[in-house]
Chain A
Amino acid sequence: MKSIYKLFVLILAAVSLTGCDVEEYPNLNSPDLDNLLEDPTLGDIQDLVGGMQAGMRNNIGGYLDNCGVIGREYYRFATSDPRFTSDLLGKGTAVLDNNTFYITNPWAARYRVVKNALIVLEAVDITKSDITEEEKNGIRGFANTIRAYELLLNLNLTYQNGIRIETSDPDNLGPVVGYEESLNTIQEILASAATELDAAGDDFAFVPSTGFEGLIPEGGDHLSPADFIKFNKAIAARVAAYRGDMPAVSALLGDSFLDVNGDLQAGAYYVFSADGNDVFNPMFFAQNSPASNARIAHPTFLEDAEAGDERLSKVTEREESLTLDNLTGDYDFFVYTSNVSSIPIIRNEELVLLYAEANYEANPAEAINAINVVRNAAGLPDYSGGMGAAELLDEILMQRRYSLYGEGHRWIDMRRYNRLGELPTDRAEDDVWEQFPIPLNENVE
């Protein structure tokens, strides 16, 4: 018995000794921010830049649907969610909610990329890796350009409600800044990013997405900082147009990849693929999709078109019309023809039309020249309308509507020229919204 006793005491002692401490596990499933910022390597920074580029695509479908549906370019049908046809179109007494997916998801997705950019900027400053100052500038210029662009997309949704610009410290966020000031700041960020890119040497220290391939001049084999400046300037020109600063638009377009006689499709794109770890184009639905999930061209897109406009190929006639929630259409929205089609970020056709817009008052002939480039490309004859500024502006907006259909412009264009009232409504009590509310969780009064 006694020996058994001893055995028990031994067991108990053994169990209690090993039982004292528990292991502290690291993050088992993914990289960790605090860990990364302790000693960011070049590899970490490259991955952060890669994450920014991938993150730019997140919820871009939500953004485009917001612009496309409110801009009456197309209807978004979904039998599993009523809010595309009620809230977004202002059906009955429905209004835009500040805590619903259509604003919360794209807003958060854009700021997620902004945050990654801010981490990149911090990591570049503190890294001990062997990176040249030029390479650091390249990374900074790239991160800041993307950051400015992402801010712009959110500002496009919330408009006069503004956005937050200063967001580096989660516990001490900057104020929400109004529309004009935000646009100015975005312009400034783009300008200083351009300066950084100027001092970035010949090569980036990271791999840019193939979506930027269209910026590489003929004969080049990779995207250089100088090529990327042209993208930066193109975005800046768009911002200047939103600000109504036409001389600035002209100047910025001069430094951009604008090529009035070049390929109108050339530019920067969001790219998608069927690779398992990659993502699909969220804007693609097959033709003749049922109401469970469909984008149906707004009937006015066909009604208002000039005869012979080849851009009507962006919509295709359905075998049967589709009805949901008292909305009916006969044509599918078919801008993106497969689940790996690219979505433009900005392309030459927009720049050509921005060129027209910058010139229609000061230099109508130049403007008409640019308009004709776009018209001819669409199989239409040269512009034959009036030469007055108002008529030219009508024509430019018309060409923007058809050229940039489904790329998120119509609603914003009509808004910046105070023409939202001209957008058609389909049901008696439908509304055309001017802007989205700031998401509830921003805790803005």
Chain B
Amino acid sequence: MKPTLRKLFFLWFMLSAPIGVMAQEEVNGTVKEASTDLPLPGVNVVIKGTTTGTVTDFDGNFQISVSEFPATLVFSSLGYKTIEQSISGGGAVNVVMEQDVTGLEEVVVTGLATTIKRSNSANAVSSISAEELVGVAQPQTLDGALAGKFTGALVSANSGAPGGGLSVKLRGVTSIFGNSQPLYIVDGVYVDNSSISGGLNDVSGAAGQGSSSNQDNPSNRIADLDPNDIKNIEILKGASAAAIYGSRAAAGVVIISTKRGKQGKTQFNLSQSFGFNSVINLLGLRDWNEERALDAFGEGADVAYAEARDAGTLVDYEKEIFDNKGFISSTGFSASGGGEKTTFYAGMSHKNEKGIVKNTGYERVSLRLNLDHRVSDRIKLSLNSNYIYSSADRGFFNNDNTGSTIGVTLTSLPPWAKLQPDAEGNYPDNIYGGSNPLQTIALMTNNEKVNRFIIGGSATIDIYKSLKSDLQLILRGGLDGYNLNTRAIFPKELQFEKRSNGGLNGQSIQGSTENKNINYSAFLVHNFNTDSNINFRTQAGITREVFDRNSYLISAFNMIASETNVDQAGGQRIDQFRLKQEDSGFFVQEEVNFQDKLIGTIGLRGDKSSNNGDANKLYYYPKASLAANLHEFDFWNLGKVNQFKLRAAYGEAGNFPAFGSPFTSFNSTFIRGVADQSVVGILLDGVLGNPDIEPERQKELELGLDLGLFDNRLNFEFTWYNKKVDDLLVQTNREPSSGFTTEWKNAGNLKNTGVEITLNALPFDGEDFTWNSNVTFFKNKSEITELNVPAFNLGAFGASLGTYRIEEGKSATQIVGISPDGLVKFGDGEPDFQMTFNNNLQYKDLELSFLFHWKKGGDNINLTSLLTDLSKTSHDYDDFGLDPTGTLPNGEYRAGQVGTSADVFVEDASYLKLREVGLYYNFPGELVERWFDGYIANIRLGFTGTNLLTFFDYNSYDPEVSNFGGNGLSAGVDVTPFPSSKRYMFNLSVDF
């Protein structure tokens, strides 16, 4: 902006200020930032008790006319502690503002375009700072770093495979068949979090028998984001907070803001971490002897065992495969800074980690550039761009029906099996299973590669601005586009690919998915302050989202020579899947803030979507909330209690029917014949479509109490919620004799109630020693309150091995199974409660942080031990304890329970984990200054660990597991997963 324009604007601004009657004196000064000593622009300066005020300019300067002395000036700015400065006369006042650490002045999202001070929020919005996210330990993936860091969530890894794959459930089960994973929004861009299968089922045949579900264990795409770029994450856990996001918000919204540049000297940060991961837990071997070998593997096995034992060639294959160290290296570089008009943040990172299984690993390169540019005092533009390349080699695990996966093969592998390759690298066939796992690991490829751009832009335009009111126009657009290439190569040398073993002579399964999400929105935000300090904020806007996906999967077999290209094959099968969705909506919201004492909000979102049965029907999602800051009222006189807030919030949000659910579709079929005698055909796919399908509707009421004591050194937050989901989307079972096995219906209601308690304390805050502690407790209970279809089983492998069951009046996550008394409830996937204990201790320049996470209760369906029982290889096969009569050893008992009772397969999945621990040393400033002549500002050195301690009494690798991936109700099914690992890291970070 030209200087003349600026002066003009300033003049206009001054003219519009109220002109006092009394004699006025000028007060002016500069506001600086405490840590950097740089001028702080944009600070609000208000004369206390009046509406007279101004803001600091780009040089931190302000000027204000005061008519009455003594007066108090209130300096406030987001993210900083508010300062009240009394003045007795005109002249210069210089103020230094400190960053706020208590978090009370932090802002949380309340509108699509607006925020509110946390102390005024009517919702318990959880937020995670960069410090909490990556400050203690470098996480493997973004969503993995969320576990245990906020209340109300069940964050669970599906397996230990490199590249992630997680399920995040906020405040219980929100949908049975619909999407139950939260919506992720990064700097205003709707970011895709799909898990797209690479077609491994063509080899494993996992979907053939007991379950038709995908058990390919793909990663989910939110893992692509680099956690180091993130400044802050906010989590809207239910409809009461997320209603403004309308029809995609029922499972909650995770709002991610990335780092931005600040005006001033360009700052650089270089960080390097390296370390390794290793398996948390191995199951071990059965205590073999000749008799047991003979019994388990028949004639000859006893001799083979004895020979191997005497020759010392017994091999613990579980150890051989899983007990490896995977090297991890992570390098990050960022630069941020800028001038008066333009600021920037640039981040680059490279992460490379190997898994605990050979030839597995994960690599990610992320480049980010965030730009902010002030066109003029009225117009601000910002652009966020992120390019990501990631590549994950995930191995071959989980369930199968062909004996080909590494996990299932291990279950039938005795230690005397001879699997090592000869000198020429030829692997022998494994006579105890369908595959030689050493060979599979060495030769197969299961890779996912992603190239992704996430770009968002926004323009904020002050249409007019006066002291009493202002009007802003905010325009936003975003694009998330990626290309995912999956490559599963099974060379013909593999045991299960060999023709002589009935194999397909090599398979090459390659997929390509192009995904594009585009969203735009425009909002108007109007602020109006009355003379009695009541603020009215009105906002209205429109939104539009477009989703477009096109996937190809080519499955080639009978490979030619050693080629892997899909055309170099004897046969191919090709699948294509297209997804298109358009959503369009509007929203309006009114917030009234009565002197920070009472803050009320009402709002409405309307949405339509091509995914609904009726595409152009508008669905409305209202919200209303009220927060009462009792401590702000004049009658408040409890000095020690400096915050006392009561809050209530209600909101509704939706969840779309699954794509394609209005249609009754056919699959294509083919029978080969000679010449023109081939028969093409169509056969119903078994799902009866429903053209009247409607979205699910969630209605959430949240009540809470926030307390701040002793100058906010002790904070207490209590929240109770009741979350109802109406019109549950149910893929209900049809009588299979109708030709359909399932049908989409809106067929019931469910309810989640729960409490969340957070206690924040600063027990010590001394010169040399500070201790910050945080304890949370949360629990959730669900109930199917109404079900208009017969109760049905769901997930896992049927009632004989334990299954979930949706039944009116019962918990939505109950696990039932057959028993001599019929179908009986054996457990529940929902934990009894969860607790976290997070601590940060600082002594001089030493810093210790640790986070414990305790999940109490919640059951899994554990079939890993059963599979080992069938081959009589279980580590506890000969132990006693499971059989209540004490006659049968565990292995025999478990195997014998198949078809009789599922009780023994349903296991308590409680755990206590030391999620993160970090010990850091910050080199003293003077020392660093002296050493490096001021070129380097900060050096931080640390050792960190993830999952270093885990405690559980659960008979598999880790109670945190899911054979069926993240969505829906099938979590917690354990079938020979990729075991989870712990991580040790050494970190060095340098600021200059």
Contacts and interface: CB of A to CB of B under 8 A. Distances in A.
Interface of A: 1, 4-5, 8, 11-12, 15-16, 18-25, 27-34, 36, 47-55, 58, 78-83, 85-87, 91-95, 97, 99-101, 104-105, 107-108, 111-116, 118-119, 163-164, 167, 170, 173, 207-211, 271, 273-278, 284-286, 288-293, 320-325, 328, 339, 439-443
Interface string B519-563: 010101000000000000000001110000000000111100000
Given A101-B209, A210-B677, A22 B615 contact: yes
Nearest to A5: B463
A113 B740 CA distance: 11
A79 B435 CA distance: 12
A87 B666 contact: no
B12 to A, nearest CB: 10
Given A50-B671, A79-B412, A79-B871, 16 more contacts: A15-B520, A15-B542, A25-B580, A29-B660, A29-B665, A30-B665, A30-B666, A31-B666, A53-B671, A81-B210, A82-B866, A82-B898, A95-B900, A108-B686, A276-B571, A292-B409
A275 B608 CA distance: 43
Interface stretch (B397-405, B589-597, B748-756): B397-405
Most buried by A among B378, B543, B576, B741: B741
B8 to A, nearest CB: 10
Contact of B870 (A21, A116, A325, A439): A325
A100 B463 contact: no
A112 B736 CA distance: 8
Contact of A24 (B574, B610, B867): B610
Given A54-B669, A99-B793, A28 B580 contact: yes
Interface stretch (B221-229, B237-245, B295-303, B952-960): B295-303
Given A19-B584, A22-B583, A50 B739 contact: no
B668 A112 contact: no
Interface of B: 209-210, 296-300, 378-379, 399-404, 408-409, 411-412, 430-435, 461, 463, 473, 475, 500-503, 520, 522, 524, 542-544, 555-558, 570-574, 576-584, 608-610, 615-616, 660, 663-674, 676-686, 688-689, 691, 733-741, 743, 790, 792-793, 798-800, 818, 820, 866-867, 870-871, 895-896, 898-900
Most buried by B among A47, A86, A119, A277: A277
B680 A47 contact: yes
Nearest to B429: A290
Given A11-B522, A93-B900, A101-B210, A51 B677 contact: no
Contact of B663 (A32, A51, A115): A32
B210 A321 contact: no
Contacts of A292: 402-404, 408-409, 412, 433-435
14 contacts: A8-B461, A48-B682, A53-B679, A54-B681, A81-B209, A83-B899, A107-B737, A111-B737, A170-B735, A273-B671, A276-B555, A277-B668, A441-B733, A441-B736
A145 to B, nearest CB: 16
A321 B660 CA distance: 50
A24 B615 contact: yes
B520 A25 contact: no
Contact of A92 (B401, B678, B899): B899
A112 B434 contact: no
A116 B740 CA distance: 11
A284 to B, nearest CB: 6
Contact of A290 (B433, B739, B820): B433
Given A19-B584, A207-B676, A292-B412, A328 B666 contact: no
B412 A49 contact: no
Contact of B740 (A49, A79, A115): A115
Given A22-B584, A163-B737, A275-B672, A30 B685 contact: yes
Contacts of B430: 290
Contacts of B737: 107, 111, 114, 163-164, 167, 173, 442
Contacts of B209: 81, 101, 105
A78 B502 contact: no
Given A47-B681, A80-B399, A173 B434 contact: no
A101 B800 CA distance: 11
A284 B522 CA distance: 61
B899 A87 contact: yes
Nearest to A107: B736
Contact of A28 (B579, B691, B734, B790): B579
Most buried by A among B543, B798, B871: B798
A18 B896 CA distance: 64
Contacts of B578: 28-29
A240 B571 CA distance: 43
Contacts of B502: 284-286, 289, 339
A4 B895 CA distance: 76
Contact of A33 (B615, B664, B800): B664
B670 A277 contact: yes
Given A28-B578, A50-B682, A274-B570, A83 B740 contact: no
Contacts of A116: 683-684, 739
B825 to A, nearest CB: 16
A291 B684 CA distance: 34
List 8 tightest A-B contacts by C-beta distance, closest first.
A292-B403, A115-B739, A94-B899, A50-B681, A286-B502, A54-B669, A323-B298, A51-B681
A320 B800 contact: no
Contacts of B800: 83, 87, 97, 100
B689 to A, nearest CB: 7
Nearest to B571: A276
Contacts of A170: 688, 734-735, 738-740, 743
A82 B870 contact: yes
B899 A93 contact: yes
Contacts of A55: 669, 681, 683
B805 to A, nearest CB: 11
Given A30-B666, A54-B679, A292-B408, A80 B400 contact: yes
A408 to B, nearest CB: 19
B849 to A, nearest CB: 43
Contacts of A31: 665-666, 682
A94 B557 CA distance: 39
Contacts of B401: 78, 80-81, 293
A357 to B, nearest CB: 31
A32 B579 contact: no
Contact of A207 (B500, B556, B615, B677): B677
Nearest to A108: B736
A24 B616 contact: yes
Contacts of B738: 111, 115, 167, 170, 173
Contact of B867 (A80, A275, A323): A80
B403 A79 contact: yes
A115 B736 CA distance: 10
A115 B856 CA distance: 48
Contact of B571 (A53, A163, A275): A275
Contacts of B297: 323
Nearest to A164: B737
B573 A51 contact: no
Most buried by B among A82, A97, A111, A273: A82
A429 to B, nearest CB: 10
B84 to A, nearest CB: 36
Contacts of B895: 82, 86, 325
A209 B676 CA distance: 11
Most buried by B among A27, A29, A95, A211: A29
A323 B431 CA distance: 12
A320 B610 contact: no
Contacts of A439: 736
A271 B543 CA distance: 54
B665 A210 contact: no
Contact of B673 (A209, A274, A321): A209
Contacts of B432: 290-291
A209 B671 contact: yes
